[in-house]
A and B are shown apart, each in its own frame.
Chain A
């Protein structure tokens, strides 16, 4: 069928089952937006800054497991996507970003709103394309979606010059992709799985250390089966949160810098660690050569390059986590480790999570949100103290329930990502746990949420500080609070949200917390923000200082 490049793009998106595009128009996208004007079966959500589009597509992808799609014009539109693409790349999130580009004849001439976005995004995309011929559109779109969602997922960018959008082609959407150099290994090597089972059977103090790969491969059931069958305690990273039910007795919560003391002690004492869909990030390991020194590793990951990158495993297994753990859970012997579990239970008793002092405590607020939502809300976070408190105090039972910028640590991620998550899961309450610093980084998306009637809840844990940096200054820089006090100039969030047409509430006392949360829950046609004035100097504890070991852990 004859059509223009712009029509072919939309037709290809239909072919991929795309339901929603987060985008912002501009000169180099005019032909595409003209086609969108008549498109009724794909929802377009108009953001207010392109960074918001990228994060919203990312939040949509993490909440749904589908590929998120964002779109921006050439030049500044495209460069505004960069932080969002890098965020998705670091956390292996499937995304397709479409950028307008100046016409092919103008490329390289420093034309108005020209930027070399394929060059710029080379190190932060799984792959990218510059379309130069309209007949390539169906193939490139097919490949882009395939690459984004298969293997280790990641963002793919397609740069789309304006003349290519207007050129004619004979459209036929391909059924399959032809990428001979790209064949992700999905099934683990049977011999390696056999070896892993043998190592596991001989273990006295085994531990599962799971990461984001458990969520992205939807391996929750398989992991649970393995843990229960072989009686292995489980610690899940920030990215893995929800991949193992946190109310399960084998669950130890999060490891690492702000992990539970008992998870960190378990890592230190374990004799066999099964690392599943995780990459031994420095926020988990601390000082790498001191990390889990008593353990042999079984490392399962779909990306061969992750195996051996930071830690040399005894048993390397390349493959999809769901398949490998599914196989391993059948091969591993049914065992019990009563002594080891008793040791772990003692640590839990000896070093429980908690907080001290008076005032409005952020930990209590998150606990209360957990209670009020019956533990079923989708929790999205910003980055900093808010993120760590959310991870520590909102236990999740479900996969894809906790959404956070782990690798890149992008402040301003949470609110637009929450918008994306809510679009993906309109049946769920979606809460963005925010700080007063982070929320101001993409506050303009309030207009997006009001305009799109997207009823996300925002809990601002307002301490008037860039809290996590303030905490480091307090602990490691003699409390010299260099440029971290945000109190002067922080807007009245209630008035601000109201100005946008949303609902704003303020909480200054513990007694008001639950009432405000319930009021927010009842708002179903617009965003609602609660400005919690928390005690200013609260720190996130426990804490293993950067590059430290479990022996350096601060408890309060």
Chain B
């Protein structure tokens, strides 16, 4: 079962290494990881997608709390969230297929952000499913390169992952 968790940490050197090393040595698999600063310059936020049964998730959360720099761990399992990934896809696009590709891109509300003689770079933002779906449709034209970010998540409504919330 895939879980998306948010981890608030002190914004200090080495915190990412501590967190990643904990996952590695306890045998927890990270599907994706995104880290950034937040509205509070002293706090960074990680969104981590992990695969495992509930008992493993509970253990991950407890082990994370043992790190001195971890302020808060939030499992988004049972709540409505906004979750986004971003992908850049470089696809073969010669004149014969440009129109088709542009139509597909438009249906997905994605953007063409680079145009060259024989290629497009397409930027798509959305849930993992949406990114997967667009990538699958573009497959037949020939995907030359693809890069996607880790998932980022915020809870819907007024709920926040504040320090003491």
Complex: how many Å from CA A127 to CA B14?
A: 11
Complex: how many Å from CA A179 to CA B163?
A: 13
- The answer to whether A535 has its CB under 8 Å from any CB of chain B is no
Which size class do B's interface residues fall under? 20 to 34
Report B55-66 CB contacts with A as 1/0, cut-off 8 Å: 100110011011
Pick from B21, B58, B68, B163: contact of A127, CB below 8 A: B68
Residue pair A305, B59 in contact (C-beta under 8 Å): yes
Interface residue ranges of B3-56 to A (CB < 8 Å): 10, 14, 17-18, 21-22, 25, 55
Contacts of B122 in A (CB 8 A): none
Report B64-84 CB contacts with A as 1/0, cut-off 8 Å: 011111110000000000000
Contacts of A304 in B (CB 8 A): 62, 65
Pick from A123, A130, A181, A308: contact of B21, CB below 8 A: A123
Interface residue ranges of B80-139 to A (CB < 8 Å): none
Which size class do A's interface residues fall under? 10 to 19
Residue pair A122, B18 in contact (C-beta under 8 Å): yes
Contacts of A180 in B (CB 8 A): 71, 163
Contacts of A122 in B (CB 8 A): 14, 17-18, 21
Interface residue ranges of A20-74 to B (CB < 8 Å): none
Residue pair B55, A181 in contact (C-beta under 8 Å): no
Complex: how many Å from CA A147 to CA B70?
A: 14
Complex: how many Å from CA A122 to CA B24?
A: 12
- Asked if A308 meets B59 with Cβ closer than 8 Å, knowing A118-B14, A122-B21, the reply is yes
Residue pair B55, A308 in contact (C-beta under 8 Å): yes
Complex: how many Å from CA A116 to CA B66?
A: 22
- Asked if A181 meets B70 with Cβ closer than 8 Å, knowing A305-B63, A308-B55, A308-B59, the reply is yes
- The answer to whether A476 has its CB under 8 Å from any CB of chain B is no
Contacts of A182 in B (CB 8 A): 68
Contacts of A312 in B (CB 8 A): 55
Residue pair B10, A308 in contact (C-beta under 8 Å): no
Residue pair B25, A123 in contact (C-beta under 8 Å): yes
Residue pair A305, B69 in contact (C-beta under 8 Å): no
Contacts of A119 in B (CB 8 A): 17
Pick from A118, A181, A303, A308: contact of B68, CB below 8 A: A181
Name the distance in Å between B132's Cβ and chain A's nearest Cβ: 34
Interface residue ranges of A512-529 to B (CB < 8 Å): none
Contacts of A308 in B (CB 8 A): 55, 58-59
Contacts of B58 in A (CB 8 A): 308
Interface residue ranges of A128-183 to B (CB < 8 Å): 130, 147, 179-182
Residue pair B68, A179 in contact (C-beta under 8 Å): yes
Complex: how many Å from CA A308 to CA B54?
A: 12
Name the distance in Å between B7's Cβ and chain A's nearest Cβ: 11
Residue pair A305, B66 in contact (C-beta under 8 Å): yes
Contacts of B17 in A (CB 8 A): 119, 122
Contacts of B71 in A (CB 8 A): 180-181
Report A387-417 CB contacts with B as 1/0, cut-off 8 Å: 0000000000000000000000000000000
- The answer to whether A309 has its CB under 8 Å from any CB of chain B is yes
Complex: how many Å from CA A400 to CA B66?
A: 26
Contacts of A123 in B (CB 8 A): 21-22, 25
Contacts of B14 in A (CB 8 A): 118, 122, 130
Chain B residue with the shortest CB-CB distance to A118: B14
Complex: how many Å from CA A181 to CA B18?
A: 15
Contacts of B55 in A (CB 8 A): 308, 312
Residue pair B68, A147 in contact (C-beta under 8 Å): yes
Name the distance in Å between B93's Cβ and chain A's nearest Cβ: 44
Chain A residue with the shortest CB-CB distance to B22: A123
Chain B residue with the shortest CB-CB distance to A307: B62
Name the distance in Å between A49's Cβ and chain B's nearest Cβ: 27
Complex: how many Å from CA A127 to CA B70?
A: 12
Name the distance in Å between A86's Cβ and chain B's nearest Cβ: 12
Contacts of B18 in A (CB 8 A): 122
Report A302-346 CB contacts with B as 1/0, cut-off 8 Å: 011100110010000000000000000000000000000000000
Name the distance in Å between B89's Cβ and chain A's nearest Cβ: 36
**Which of A122, A147, A303 counts the most chain B CB atoms within 10 A?**
A122
Complex: how many Å from CA A127 to CA B21?
A: 13
Complex: how many Å from CA A122 to CA B68?
A: 12
Complex: how many Å from CA A483 to CA B121?
A: 62
Complex: how many Å from CA A127 to CA B55?
A: 25
Name the distance in Å between A121's Cβ and chain B's nearest Cβ: 11
Name the distance in Å between A327's Cβ and chain B's nearest Cβ: 23
Name the distance in Å between B148's Cβ and chain A's nearest Cβ: 29
Complex: how many Å from CA A179 to CA B18?
A: 17
Residue pair A305, B68 in contact (C-beta under 8 Å): no
Complex: how many Å from CA A130 to CA B10?
A: 16
Contacts of A147 in B (CB 8 A): 68
Chain A residue with the shortest CB-CB distance to B163: A180
Contacts of A126 in B (CB 8 A): 66, 68
Contacts of B65 in A (CB 8 A): 304-305
Complex: how many Å from CA A232 to CA B10?
A: 46
Residue pair A181, B59 in contact (C-beta under 8 Å): no
Complex: how many Å from CA A44 to CA B85?
A: 57
Complex: how many Å from CA A385 to CA B127?
A: 58
Complex: how many Å from CA A147 to CA B69?
A: 12
Complex: how many Å from CA A443 to CA B68?
A: 37
Residue pair B163, A305 in contact (C-beta under 8 Å): no
Pick from A127, A130, A179, A309: contact of B59, CB below 8 A: A309
Complex: how many Å from CA A120 to CA B10?
A: 21
Contacts of B70 in A (CB 8 A): 181
Report A261-303 CB contacts with B as 1/0, cut-off 8 Å: 0000000000000000000000000000000000000000001
* Sample of 19 more A-B contacts, CB < 8 Å, known A182-B68, A305-B62: A122-B17, A122-B21, A123-B21, A123-B22, A123-B25, A126-B68, A127-B68, A179-B68, A180-B163, A181-B71, A303-B66, A304-B62, A305-B63, A305-B65, A305-B66, A308-B55, A308-B59, A309-B59, A312-B55
> Can you show 15 pairs from A to B with CB atoms below 8 A apart?
A119-B17, A122-B17, A122-B18, A126-B66, A147-B68, A180-B71, A181-B10, A181-B69, A305-B62, A305-B65, A305-B66, A308-B55, A308-B58, A309-B59, A312-B55
Q: Taking beta carbons and an 8 Å cutoff, which residues of B are in contact with A?
A: 10, 14, 17-18, 21-22, 25, 55, 58-59, 62-63, 65-71, 163
Smallest CB-CB A-B distances: 3 pairs: A305-B62, A127-B68, A181-B71
